[in-house]
Structure 1
């Protein structure tokens, strides 16, 4: 199955749009990069137990009755060399990678191995990678003395999903039943990409492995976003019932809105894919 996914991603890479300069079309280096932010969420302990209490700021939960699930901003880059028309991209393991914003200090990413570089910081941590609405982000990878630059312009603002913020402060939902979310009206403008991830949350705030996501999972799968953006620009989002498998349980629904970018320097392949975005979150408590 993974081989099929990789083959599809490589095909998307090779069939990337030709709206680029000739140098980018022939460039050997390809980059996938993301910078995604989620805010802190304050949850009522009563809501975690399925009681009738709200989340801040909707419910005004007292300090001693709330649990804070910390947010974070995570940066990730995958850098590789294209290996001919039929070969798989070859990871570049010895690059120096950073993220830059206008009038901001560059943030160096850690080498994680196998061509991947990343950094995660707590929400609001001014010393680490951080998210700024409207900013332009440059993803810079230096290899063999050459800088390869991808860029995302106009980082989107948070897109609030009304269904995730009912009056009670959380969503009461039947276990194993699908959930449909509607994005706010966009005034006829092209929508940013929208991704949904569902994560189980224990009563003490510990997060488990996602039970559902429609976000690409492998670095090369992100390359398909270049040729198939419409799948992630729909006005409604359908979450399957399998995302909420257990009754009397809590799930954090994360709606990530993201702006798509691409290569900025001539030596980076036109199929390179960059995403920058922020998220809205809501708590779901399942019942029978």
Structure 2
């Protein structure tokens, strides 16, 4: 399966629009970059237990009601590679210096995680400098061999609220192993939708997130390159989460809907198929019934 996905990603490198910067079409370096944010979320302990919890009009929890906070985070990631001919798999670049520049908002230096990957994550209480700003322009900059390779995402999207994730009771009552459909809000002015990704995490008693039970987000760096030629799959007005995302009865799951703006190469020395994403997320709690 992984070989099939890799082949599809490499094919995506070859199916880029021909009406593009010719230098970028021939450029050797290819970049995948993401900066994705999730907010803190307060969850009522009553809701975690499947009981009726009070909520405020904005979806918050009334003062005095016991709660836990599931900390949000902003994660920055870059994969840099050198294209190996027209058919070969890109070769990771492991000795670059990588940063993200936020227009009018400073610079984020990423750690070298080897194998061509660079990243940094800010968690609850972290002052690493990884921040998300609605409407900002983000430049992903990789310096290698004395040359700067720059990708850019403009107009970072605001949070896209999914009403079904915010019922009056504070959480979604749902049957285990049953699918869940979410509807995205309409888009005004005939604008194209941002890309939308869904990930489901099981939650422990203290709100700790386990490994995802479902995601429609690409899992490997090279898989993101398919977004350049197949954005429609992630721009649908409805999102279908399979029942396998909620396998256990009387359990809690965190549904994360990530909306992201797609960007691409800014400098001539970065391949036109490079893929950059910046976005933020809406969150909802699901409690499965017996």
Give the structure-2-normalised TM-score.
Answer: 0.96
Taking only aligned residues, the RMSD between alpha carbons, in angstroms, comes to: 1.3
Match of 1:200 among 199, 202, 205: 202
Query: 2:108 corresponds to which residue?
Result: 107
CA–CA distance in structure 2, aligned partners of residues 6 and 123 of structure 1 = 34
CA–CA distance in structure 2, aligned partners of residues 5 and 54 of structure 1 = 45
Q: Does structure 2 retain, via aligned residues, the 8 Å contact 1:138–1:150? A: yes
CA–CA distance in structure 2, aligned partners of residues 59 and 101 of structure 1 = 30
1:124 deviates by 7.4
CA–CA distance in structure 1, aligned partners of residues 100 and 145 of structure 2 = 18
1:85-114 CA deviation, whole Å, 9 max, x = no partner? 121100000000000011222110000010
CA–CA distance in structure 2, aligned partners of residues 192 and 124 of structure 1 = 29
CA–CA distance in structure 2, aligned partners of residues 92 and 40 of structure 1 = 34
Which deviates the most, 143-152 or 120-129? 120-129
CA–CA distance in structure 2, aligned partners of residues 275 and 124 of structure 1 = 24
Task: Give the alignment of 1:1-288 within 5 angstroms.
Answer: 1-54=1-54, 57-63=58-64, 65-122=66-123, 125=126, 127-187=128-188, 188-288=190-290
CA–CA distance in structure 2, aligned partners of residues 111 and 55 of structure 1 = 43
Q: Does structure 2 retain, via aligned residues, the 8 Å contact 1:37–1:277? A: yes
1:126 deviates by 5.1
1:19 deviates by 3.3
1:132-164 CA deviation, whole Å, 9 max, x = no partner? 000000000000000000000000000000000
Q: 1:165 to 1:18 in 2, by over 3 A?
A: same
**What stretches of structure 1 move > 3 A for 4+ residues in a row?**
54-57, 61-64, 123-127
Q: How many residues align?
A: 288
Q: 1:96 to 1:54 in 2, by over 3 A?
A: farther
1:242 deviates by 0.4
Give the structure-1-normalised TM-score.
Answer: 0.97
Which deviates the most, 47-56 or 224-233? 47-56
1:201 deviates by 0.4
Q: Does structure 1 retain, via aligned residues, the 8 Å contact 2:44–2:61? A: no
CA–CA distance in structure 1, aligned partners of residues 195 and 124 of structure 2 = 22
Which deviates the most, 124-133 or 215-224? 124-133
Indicate the SS of the match to 1:106. Answer: strand
CA–CA distance in structure 1, aligned partners of residues 64 and 103 of structure 2 = 37
Indicate the SS of the match to 1:269. Answer: coil
1:226-252 CA deviation, whole Å, 9 max, x = no partner? 000000000000000000000000000
Q: Does structure 2 retain, via aligned residues, the 8 Å contact 1:43–1:54? A: no
